[in-house]
Structure 1
Amino acid sequence: MQLFHYHYWTPFVEETEQTYRLLGFEGAFHKGCSFHPPLTWDDVREEQPTFRIVEMRKGQMNITFG
């Protein structure tokens, strides 16, 4: 069996994104606030987004969390 895609919810969106980047994933899109890669959290931190969905990809694996 091969994992292709999964979703999960976390109150630690920024930290989760950092963890997946350390594992070699790249950001594909951000939904819920007005920025997309290559912008970072530092670019929108003052906006204080209340809801955010992040998609990260590595090879054929696709992870979505928010």
Structure 2
Amino acid sequence: MAEDKPDMSAVMKAVAESPKRDNSVYHKAIAEARQAFEDAEAALGGPVEVRTKTKTKRNGDYVVKWTFRRLD
């Protein structure tokens, strides 16, 4: 029965040695989104609400349109 269980140290070593995913593009997009909220709040003079529209263009581009409105 004990032979059926994987060696946990081998599993942990394999996980530690596996290639890491590059999340730099994700982090850049999140930073730009936070900056957009900050800019909208400054321009509109207070808290804002946002609405989004998404669209996939024929050429494969994925477009997101953000509309900020002042929160009343």
Normalising by the smaller structure, the TM-score range is: under 0.3
TM-score w.r.t. the length of structure 2 is 0.21
Q: Which has the higher strand share?
A: 1
Q: Which has the higher helix share?
A: 2
Which one has more relative contact order, counting CA pairs under 8 Å at least 6 apart?
A: 1
Tell which structure's C-alpha radius of gyration is larger: 2
